């Protein structure tokens, strides 16, 4: 399963990309607005750091606006994937942009029918938002399972990009379900590096080693 960083913060990329586990990135208007500065510059920098797919979202809400914005976002870097929301206009934009050969990530997916429609029209990725469903006492990961089953039946090439991830267990469940991508905030990825038994084990190894070294002197 590919791991993307869900962030607009360059420091997150500088800290996680050297670990070798990162395959791409997702951004959204909220994440980029938080950083300040020119969002296009940030997206360009992220592309340079991850050297993989980087989703950049349109903010227009009409199809013509989304298409123009999508084309423009795609000129930032070859790694840019245009992100459009699942709306009627978003679907029209998806049809045109994917027809032009651009990769499109259809975002704000909360139902299997939305994912099915986006796949039919040529989305490169669909982004089910698992955390936001969990937040309203719905089962976010069940949605991922349903989309995975549907895509398998029809051999859609569209990748399932699990989004709105809140904890390492979302990563585990996404991998168990065979999701193609899981996009995670840096805090969630950082949490996966913490295990008390690893820390205790390492401390003991080093102490035992020191004892022997001390005895030799």
Residues of the shown chain interacting with ligand E4P in the complex, contacts defined by CB under 6 A: 6, 26, 28, 107, 127, 129, 131-132, 163-164, 183
Output the smallest distance, CB 53 to ligand E4P, in A: 12
Report the Cα 24 to chain-centroid distance in Å: 7
- C-beta of 129 vs 156, nearer to ligand E4P: 129
Q: Is 201 helix (H, G, I), strand (E, B) or coil?
A: helix
- Are 98 and 124 a contacting pair, CB within 8 Å? yes
Output the smallest distance, CB 66 to ligand E4P, in A: 16
Output the smallest distance, CB 197 to ligand E4P, in A: 29
Report the Cα 100 to chain-centroid distance in Å: 23
Output the smallest distance, CB 98 to ligand E4P, in A: 18
Residues 83, 92, 211, 216: which is the catalytic one?
Answer: 83
- C-beta of 179 vs 205, nearer to ligand E4P: 179
- C-beta of 17 vs 161, nearer to ligand E4P: 161
CA distance 109 to 118: 9
CB neighbour class for 15 (10 Å; exposed up to 12, middle 13-18, buried from 19): middle
What region, left, alpha or beta, does residue 119 occupy, with left being phi > 0 and alpha being psi -120 to 50 degrees?
Answer: alpha
Is 207 among the catalytic positions? no
- C-beta of 84 vs 116, nearer to ligand E4P: 84
CA distance 112 to 148: 9
| Catalytic center residues | 83
């Amino acid at each position: 399963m590919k791991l993307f960083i869900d962030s607009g913060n360059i420091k997150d990329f500088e800290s996680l990309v050297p670990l070798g586990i990162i395959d791409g990135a997702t951004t959204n208007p909220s994440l980029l607005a938080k950083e300040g500065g020119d969002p296009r510059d940030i997206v360009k920098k992220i592309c340079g750091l991850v050297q993989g797919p980087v989703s950049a979202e349109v903010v227009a809400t009409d199809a013509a606006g989304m298409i123009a914005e999508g084309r423009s976002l795609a000129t930032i870097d070859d790694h840019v994937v245009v992100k459009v929301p699942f709306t009627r206009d978003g679907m029209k934009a998806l049809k045109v942009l994917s027809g032009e050969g651009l990769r499109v990530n259809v975002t704000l997916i909360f139902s299997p029918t939305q994912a099915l429609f986006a796949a039919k029209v040529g989305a490169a990725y669909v982004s089910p938002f698992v955390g936001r469903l969990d937040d309203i006492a719905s089962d976010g990961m069940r949605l991922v399972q349903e989309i995975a089953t549907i895509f398998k039946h029809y051999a859609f090439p569209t990748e399932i990009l699990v989004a709105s991830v809140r904890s390492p267990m979302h990563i585990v469940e996404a991998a168990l379900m065979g999701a193609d991508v899981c996009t995670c905030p840096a805090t969630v990825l950082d949490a996966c590096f913490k295990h008390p038994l690893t820390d205790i084990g390492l401390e003991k190894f080093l102490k035992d080693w020191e004892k022997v070294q001390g005895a030799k002197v």
